């Protein structure tokens, strides 16, 4: 079931009707859970039993971790000596830690089996005849990365003191909630559980905001991302014939495609959730206007960044153990971020590259703080512009490894970014027959797209302006009609479905 389809619209309206018709919270949770199972079944019905078992396993482990400790020796419930109570507490804490590690290792092991078994087998036994990549993709559960990351976060939160839920229905509804099930945003159980208990009643403003999010997400994905993706696929599928200009255009086009594709998905997810009275976290905050790599990672895939920071970076020591250890920690978490996206070496290089960039930023930031003139320079218009150019150049060029994780292909692109003429027949097929525009017009469209994003950024962030709800309602049908009219035939799959 595609988010941008009439089928999804009918599905959403039907579930909303049942959800708001029933008054009891338990019935609403059942409605969400059953609807989410139907949604997932439309994509991969054969993996529902596995995900149900995984959900129940994490639910039980969390309950065991949260089980009450032995009463204090002065409590009337159970009389123990101070010494007996002390050692009993140590034993219990050890048991809680073992349960936590059992849960984490089980989730990570399942993720490794599904996402990385085939690449590992090929790496260690290149001559072994095994399933093809396409076959293996068919047996990998959609959304397994997001699913397991949320489970690990829940177990760690309970271990740190947050209460474990006693209601499996509530936990299952949270885990399977169809709006975020496949590609996030990554949510924490306790945040969404409080939303379940304190549902926002639908008002014209909330309805308009939800529909507006869905409509603008459809435009981002259906019109902008898919049209850019057509060119990106044509160019990167014919590397030997593409010229340097083509490769530069494809590199920047892919950066925009990736952002519009993923943020469009999240907009639809957040808009759908809002119509149920639930608020999902934002995942993007104008990342292509960041002026440092650290700022970029505070704005890009925000929920993944929060997960890495809270459950990896801080436990590793964060920035509390000196500059060298801080840089090491940054490289480690970005390496894990790369591996999380895929097992190909390109993702590893991408992660290490961003980790090194974060370390360099720490170093240059420390130097700037020692020299007042240098610090002032980075706060002036020229310094801000230079920082933005350096940051975005690094970000966009690093997407080459992301789009072409095979190092042979990505290395070819980097080697041919300068002074390499394109094939005339390639230009004819791509620009004339497929796109019906010239290289110059395509470059102009990318610039116009960025200027439009800048306009939205100034409108929302600088001027602090928002459309009123009647205006949003006016734009909603216009957006849907535009998608129906302008979207390319045969929409491209969401990029993050692969992760």
3-state secondary structure of 76: coil
Q: Which of 227, 341, 354, 416 is catalytic?
A: 341
DSSP 249-271: HHHHHHHHHHHHHHHHHHHHHHH
Q: What is the dihedral of CA 330, 334, 337, 343, to 10 degrees?
A: -140
User: Per-residue DSSP letters for 289-344?
Assistant: G-SSHHHHHHHSSHHHHHHHIIIIITTTTTTSS-HHHHHHHHHHHHHHHHHHH-SS
Structure-block tokens of residue 69: 């400790």
Cis-peptide, bond into residue 39, ω within 30° of zero: no
Measured over the CA atoms of residue 291, residue 295, residue 299 and residue 305, the dihedral's sign is: positive
Distance CA(193)–CA(174), nearest Å, equals 7
How far CA 442 is from CA of 111, 282, 401, 448, 482, in Å, comes to 40, 30, 23, 10, 20
Instruction: Tokens for 110, please give them.
Output: 């399942």
Catalytic residue flag (residue 341):
yes
- The rounded distance, in Å, linking the Cα atoms of 37 and 47 is 10
Residue 28, judged by CB atoms within 10 A of its CB (0-12, 13-18, 19+), counts as: buried
Cα gap 456→466, rounded to integer Å: 10
Asked if 435 and 249 touch (Cβ cutoff 8 Å), the reply is: no
d(CA 342, CA 274): 31
**Among all residues, which ones are annotated catalytic?**
341
């Amino acid at each position: 079931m595609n988010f941008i389809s009439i089928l999804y619209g009918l599905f959403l309206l039907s579930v909303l009707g049942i959800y708001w018709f029933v008054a009891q919270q338990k019935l609403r949770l059942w409605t969400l859970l059953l609807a989410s199972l139907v949604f997932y079944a439309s994509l991969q019905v054969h993996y529902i039993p596995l995900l149900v078992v995984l959900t129940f396993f994490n639910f039980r482990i969390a309950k065991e971790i949260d089980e009450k400790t032995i009463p204090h020796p002065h409590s009337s419930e159970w009389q123990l000596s101070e010494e007996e109570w002390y050692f009993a507490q140590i034993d219990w804490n050890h048991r809680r830690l073992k349960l936590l590690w059992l849960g984490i290792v089980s989730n990570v092991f399942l993720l490794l089996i599904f996402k990385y078994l085939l690449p590992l087998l090929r790496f260690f036994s290149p001559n072994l005849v095994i399933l093809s990549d396409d076959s293996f993709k068919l047996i990998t559960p959609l959304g397994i990365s997001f699913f397991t990351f949320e489970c690990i976060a829940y177990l760690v939160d309970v271990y740190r003191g947050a209460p474990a839920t006693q209601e499996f229905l509530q936990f299952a509804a949270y885990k399977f909630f169809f709006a975020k099930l496949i590609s996030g945003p990554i949510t924490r159980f306790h945040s969404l559980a409080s939303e379940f208990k304190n549902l926002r009643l639908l008002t014209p403003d909330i309805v308009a905001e939800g529909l507006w999010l869905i409509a603008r997400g459809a435009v981002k994905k259906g019109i902008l991302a898919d049209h850019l993706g057509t060119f990106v696929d044509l160019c990167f599928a014919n590397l030997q014939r593409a010229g340097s200009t083509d490769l530069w255009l494809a590199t920047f086009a892919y950066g925009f495609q990736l952002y519009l594709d993923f943020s469009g998905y999240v907009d639809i997810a957040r808009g759908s959730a809002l119509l149920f009275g639930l608020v999902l976290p934002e995942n993007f905050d104008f990342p292509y206007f960041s002026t440092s790599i650290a700022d970029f990672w505070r704005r890009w895939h925000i929920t993944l960044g929060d997960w890495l920071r809270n459950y990896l970076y801080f436990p590793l020591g964060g920035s509390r153990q000196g500059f060298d250890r801080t840089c090491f920690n940054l490289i480690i978490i970005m390496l894990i971020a790369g591996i999380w996206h895929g097992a190909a070496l390109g993702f590893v290089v991408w992660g290490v590259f961003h980790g090194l960039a974060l370390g360099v930023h720490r170093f240059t930031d420390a130097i700037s703080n020692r020299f007042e003139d240098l610090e002032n320079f980075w706060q002036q218009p020229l310094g801000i512009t230079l920082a933005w150019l350096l940051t975005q150049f690094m970000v966009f060029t690093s997407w080459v490894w992301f789009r072409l994780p095979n190092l042979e292909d990505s290395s070819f692109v980097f080697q041919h970014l300068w002074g390499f003429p394109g094939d005339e027949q390639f230009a004819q097929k791509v620009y004339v027959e497929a796109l019906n525009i010239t290289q110059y017009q395509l470059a102009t469209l990318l610039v116009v797209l960025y200027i439009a994003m800048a306009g939205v950024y100034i409108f929302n962030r600088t001027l602090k302006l928002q459309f009123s709800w009647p205006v949003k309602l006016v734009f909603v049908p216009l957006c849907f009609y535009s998608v129906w009219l302008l979207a390319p035939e045969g929409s491209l799959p969401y990029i993050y479905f692969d992760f």
